[in-house]
Amino acid sequence: MGPVWDVSPHPDATPEEGPGNFRTHDIRPFPGGMRPPSFALVGPKLRDWLDLVNAIPTSAGHPMERLAEAHAGFEQVHPFLDGNGRTGRLLLNLVLARLGYAPAIIQKRERPRYLQALRRADTGNHGPLAELIARTVLDNLYRFVVPALAGPARLVPLASLETPQISRVALRNAAQRGRLRAQRGDDAQWRSSRAWVEDYLADRYARKPAKARDERPS
């Protein structure tokens, strides 16, 4: 947060509330109505939060629900004046990595759903946030891990073959129309390979008609 603070420090910050320091005054309730604890309770609340995180491996219930509870818990404490969301998501990924999971990279387009899930977690319902985290972990496995491990001829889910050039929806449509070589498994999921996708893209761009020449009368 240091470089951010140099450009645009928080307008309500005291000299003691710079980057890396806990807030020293209370803050307004969240849009959903949840009020963060008094600044005097930040230290004790974070110690309780660390106990919660350390207990995840042996806790009852699904680990993703416990992770969602821990992530929401950090945001509820809101220990800093600014940067709590970024810090909380970095801590979430640290815990995921220590538990053997892939990171959860929440895309900008998912922000409204993520914030809504956090608000529901504030009421004690951690299910939507747990599902979002789990889906994000799975999506990142498909997008980053599987393609890095699979060779160009290996069949992988279409989500692993998405690129800036073509989305998974376009790949699925091409597979369904028979234009992209792909196989549909017993689980109803389409699979293809990087080599087949490259062949499809090369053929698609070769067949794309050239733009008509401007023939305005002289």
Question: Exactly one of 10, 25, 62, 78 is catalytic; which is it?
Answer: 78
Angle at the Cα of 5 from the Cα atoms of 37 and 121, rounded to 5 degrees: 35
The tokens of 197 are what? 């996708």
Burial 91-105 (b: 16+ CB within 10 A, else e): ebbebbeeeebbbbe
* DSSP-derived 3-state class of residue 190: strand
Question: Residue 10 catalytic?
Answer: no
d(CA 36, CA 84): 12
* Nearest C-alpha neighbor of 25 from the set 17, 48, 35: 17
d(CA 118, CA 125): 9
The tokens of 206 are what? 């070769």
- Is 208 buried (19+), middle (13-18) or exposed (0-12) by CB count in 10 A? exposed
Catalytic residue IDs: 78
